[in-house]
């Protein structure tokens, strides 16, 4: 569920119930913040006198838990700079916990309940926005958001539907990619994978390097079809699985296998896994490879032989070529030498 929905036309108020069906049809035709509307939540409108923002989260400044509270409610999300002057952040000592301090008496009960949700379910964020009080003094949570710490999933007795950082259910490729590392700790391959709306497949190495390379591809006008990374020293069969998943996406115009100069990764082994995957997919589009590290010369000789024998359109670059510069090469090969 996307944030900033009101400003994007994702929240509609109706005065008559007879208009409900028509407005729901209109919503299903919309794309809100680059997400197609798939579900609609219908709620009774509440008349209220006071509006607040309330959340528990982690702060990089205090390196601990914080309560964020103040007036403004939904305006905090859509007009943060304007509303932030009415919002305060209070550090929380995890050993002492939260007992309702720093919120009005009428909100203490719901604030404590939100804290219990935050701690019980290992949340990264638990937010009520807006939290309102009506004329009768009744408190209403009109909207709420929770972000769970995925690494604590094994501790939860309640299993929630999977959602990714885009706020949508994972795709088939995302699910399959994450299975690669299950029960096999030889390097990391596929644990980080997201589908994106572009048409250049990306198989990147290393966490920091992969982010830098994605930025470079976008800066040169390339449209990545996915984000994924592998690190450590994964075996050949794991790279084969990842390659098949990445290249299974229809409509691709190119593939970019990119990484820095490794110290311990067996470049020949990982590129052989990549080739094993290519042999099953048999792509006809250009493939740019930039890698360096142990056994890279042996790997490049192997790639040249494979390209001759199986007619792959390889463009091979080693440690002498900056990895980000191959982003421009990939973009031009995929789209032609234009400013797409």
User: Considering the chain, what is the average pLDDT of its residues?
Assistant: 90
Domains of the chain: 1-45 (no CATH), 50-155 (3.30.470.20), 172-335 (3.40.50.261)
**pLDDT tops 70 at residue 3:** no
Q: What is the pLDDT of residues 179-204, one digit of tens each?
A: 999 988 899 998 899 999 999 999 99
- How far is residue 257's CA from residue 246's CA, in Å, rounded to a whole number? 11
| Helix, strand, coil percent content, the chain, rounded in steps of 5 | 35, 25, 40
> 103: which 2 tokens?
């919120």
Whether residue 133 contacts residue 50, with contact meaning beta carbons closer than 8 Å, is answered with yes
pLDDT at 164: 60
Ranges of H-type helices in the chain: 20-28, 75-78, 80-83, 108-120, 172-179, 207-219, 236-246, 267-281, 296-310, 325-335
296-310 and 267-281 are packed helices; what angle lies between their axes, rounded to 10 degrees? 20
State the pLDDT confidence band at 2, using cuts at 50, 70 and 90.
low
State the pLDDT confidence band at 338, using cuts at 50, 70 and 90.
low
- How far is residue 227's CA from residue 209's CA, in Å, rounded to a whole number? 12
Write down the pTM of the prediction: 0.65
Whether residue 292 contacts residue 267, with contact meaning beta carbons closer than 8 Å, is answered with yes
Whether residue 238 contacts residue 265, with contact meaning beta carbons closer than 8 Å, is answered with no
């Amino acid at each position: 569920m996307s944030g900033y929905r009101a400003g994007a036309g994702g929240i509609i108020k109706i005065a008559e119930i007879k208009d409900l069906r028509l407005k729901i049809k209109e919503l299903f035709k919309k794309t809100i913040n680059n997400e197609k509307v798939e579900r609609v939540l219908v709620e009774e409108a509440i008349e209220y006198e006071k509006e607040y923002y309330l959340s528990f989260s982690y702060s990089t400044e205090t390196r601990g838990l914080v309560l964020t509270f103040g007036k403004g409610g939904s305006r905090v999300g859509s007009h943060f700079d304007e509303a932030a002057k009415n919002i305060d952040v209070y550090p929380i000592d995890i050993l002492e916990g939260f007992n309702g301090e720093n919120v009005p008496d009428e909100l203490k009960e719901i604030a404590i309940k939100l804290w219990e949700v935050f701690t019980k379910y290992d949340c990264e964020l638990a937010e009520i926005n807006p939290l309102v009080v009506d004329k009768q003094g009744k408190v209403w949570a009109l909207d709420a958001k929770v972000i769970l710490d995925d690494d604590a999933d094994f501790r939860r007795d309640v299993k929630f539907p999977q959602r990714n950082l885009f706020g949508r259910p994972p795709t088939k490729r995302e699910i399959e990619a994450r299975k690669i590392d299950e029960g096999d700790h030889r390097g990391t391959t596929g644990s980080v994978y997201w589908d994106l709306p572009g048409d250049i497949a990306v198989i990147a190495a290393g966490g920091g390097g992969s982010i830098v390379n994605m930025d470079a591809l976008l800066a040169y006008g390339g449209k990545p079809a996915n984000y994924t990374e592998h690190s450590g020293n994964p075996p050949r069969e794991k790279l084969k699985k990842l390659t098949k998943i990445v290249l299974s996406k229809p409509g691709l115009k190119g593939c970019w296998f990119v990484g820095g100069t490794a110290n311990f990764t067996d470049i020949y082994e990982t590129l052989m896994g990549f080739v094993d995957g290519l042999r099953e997919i048999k792509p006809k589009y250009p493939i740019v490879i930039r890698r360096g590290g142990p056994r890279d010369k042996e790997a490049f000789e192997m790639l040249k032989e494979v390209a001759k024998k199986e007619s792959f359109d390889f463009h091979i670059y080693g440690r002498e070529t900056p990895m980000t510069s191959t982003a421009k090469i990939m973009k031009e090969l995929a789209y032609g030498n234009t400013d797409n």
